[in-house]
Amino acid sequence: MWTAEFSSANFLPYLPEDCQANPGVYGFELALWLSQELAKQQVHTSYPLGEDWGWFIEYSDGATEVMIGCSSVAAENEGYSGEPILWRIFVTRPKSLLQRFKSQATPGAIERLCEAVERALRDGGYTLALSEA
């Protein structure tokens, strides 16, 4: 799984805390922005979808399906202070149980997608901490 973290006040929620996925769990605005930025690179995703841990967009090139998760690392109500908070984006490919046991290599399509996400963030002026597991 590829992960990027950065701090910013640009994606703070505009709806109140009780409209969020969970207390302190934001990410819709980030997922929507990222989907729009990827579309500018001809990388087309789904609209954001919600989860308990944040929001995600889906990408598929026909052969490879990928989830791009977007979430905050924040305390309850921290998104309303106007101050930067920590954001996390991860790219992962849902795998079957057999694929997990075989530890199949990440296809080139996922690497290109990660590069597109990184490019969008860097072009947006964000300083990233990257990791890969």
Three-class SS state of 29: helix
CB proximity list for 44: less than 8 A, separation 6 or greater: 38, 59
Assign 107 a pLDDT band (cuts: 50, 70, 90): low
Q: Hey, CA dihedral for 44, 47, 70, 10, is it positive or negative?
A: positive
Confidence of residue 93 (pLDDT cuts 50, 70, 90): confident
From CA 83, how far away is CA 131, in angstroms rounded?
25
Give the least confident one: 21-25, 30-34, 50-54, 95-99: 95-99
> Which residues lie closer than 8 Å to 14 by C-beta, 6 or more apart?
29
Q: Which pLDDT score, from 0 to 100, does residue 63 have?
A: 80
What global pTM score does this model have?
0.90
In whole angstroms, give the CA distance from residue 109 to residue 43: 11
35/48 Cα distance (integer angstroms): 8
Mean pLDDT, residues 51-59 taken together: 96
For residue 101, pLDDT beyond 80: no
Q: Are 55 and 68 in contact (CB under 8 A)?
A: no
Question: How many other CB atoms are there within 10 angstroms of residue 64's CB atom?
Answer: 15
